[in-house]
Amino acid sequence: MTAAVAAGSDTFSVFGTTAALLLSEPGRLEAARAVADAELAAVDRACSRFRPDSELSRLNAAGGAITSVSELFAELIEAALRAARLTAGDVDPTCGQALEEIGYDRDFAVLRAAGGAAPRRGRPTGTVPGWRNVHLDRARRLVQLAGGAQLDLGATAKAWAADRCAEIIAAKVDSGVLVSLGGDIAVAGPAPADGWRVRVTDDHAAGPEAPGQTVTIRSGGLATSSTTVRTWALGGRRVHHIIDPATGEPARSCWRTVSVAAGCCVDANTASTAAIIRGEAAVSWLRDAGLPARLVREDGSAQITAGWPRDPGPAERA
């Protein structure tokens, strides 16, 4: 379980992972939870890849037809396309087919319980169709998937939902709030006097003292991407869920885990995911963008950028 040790905190399951809600005004936790439940349920109805009744599933099944979507789903698609544009396509929402080809075609808990996926049949496509095949008419809320594109908003939707929940809770219940959805963290409203303490590590489900680093944040978002957690067996090898759009395969990265702080959680997650895919080039990219980040290699050594605090631990190298 995600650690939530402060007063005014709650943990619960959502999107197949663990959510945590922390409030600076503990007495308003119940109201905040009600807001979060409603918002997260709406996001799940819009963009779950594993619900046949979701808008995303219907759009993917539309065979390229122009489809009318809800305002919420349009916003989610817009966020995904923005992430693609800002990363020159490294974070691409048209990885749906590629994920299915490597066995991630059902809820991850089901996949894990099954002990992995069977070796894929047929030849891999080799690439993803690309985000430019997603045509969004924002004003009229119309979407068309061209070129056989199949949407998967896994790279942005959870972080976007964390931002949305944090903003709405802060406004509605008048409290500082931290929302964590599977380790994608957004904060809003007044922070506690010494900030929100976050343990940065490989796995969001690890304990509050898991190997890693503790930092505090006061605003914006913090997200971590890793190749070590959402993994499964495919034939004789282990694969993970971060797809390199250039190959259509799980990214082969020099980083096992990347954490990024940004102005909001979806931007942080966009950058951390892109950094995994970019490999060594991510360091200069993050530095040039002014994004504080912590990048951990396979051997556990870490590199930091743009004001991320140095870890006093022996395993860290600045």
Partner 1 sequence: MRRDERFAAVARDDGIRKISKFTWRAGAIGVAGSALIAVAFGHHVAAQPGRDSGNHSGQGTIVVPAQPPAPAHGAGQVTSGAS
Residues of span 234-293 touching partner 1 by CB under 8 A: 257, 259, 261-264, 267, 270-271, 289-292
Among the listed residues 24, 94, 156, 224, the single contact to partner 1 using CB under 8 A? 224
What is the smallest separation between the CB atom of 24 and partner 1, expressed in angstroms?
Answer: 11
Which of 46, 48, 42, 38 has its CA nearest to residue 17? 48
| Total residue count of the chain as it appears in this document | 318
Q: Is 98 in the site for partner 1 (CB under 8 A)?
A: no
Among the listed residues 35, 76, 84, 168, the single contact to partner 1 using CB under 8 A? 84
Q: Is 136 in the site for partner 1 (CB under 8 A)?
A: yes
What is the smallest separation between the CB atom of 263 and partner 1, expressed in angstroms?
Answer: 3
Pick between residue 67 and residue 225 the one whose CB is nearest to partner 1: 225
Which of 318, 304, 212, 223 has its CA nearest to residue 270? 223
Which of 134, 267, 314 has its CA nearest to residue 293? 267
Beta bridge partners of 9: 22
Cα-Cα-Cα-Cα dihedral sign, residues 232, 181, 14, 71: negative
The structure tokens 């190959």 sit at 247
The bridge status of strand 17-23 relative to strand 177-181 is: antiparallel
What is the smallest separation between the CB atom of 165 and partner 1, expressed in angstroms?
Answer: 14
What is the smallest separation between the CB atom of 122 and partner 1, expressed in angstroms?
Answer: 29
Please list every residue from 38 through 77 that binds partner 1, using CB under 8 A.
Answer: none
Pick between residue 46 and residue 222 the one whose CB is nearest to partner 1: 222
Angle between helices 157-173 and 71-86 (to 10 degrees): 120
What is the smallest separation between the CB atom of 230 and partner 1, expressed in angstroms?
Answer: 7
Stretch binding partner 1 (CB under 8 A), from 23-31, 50-58, 96-104, 204-212: 204-212
DSSP-derived secondary structure letter, 119: P
Q: Is 6 in the site for partner 1 (CB under 8 A)?
A: yes
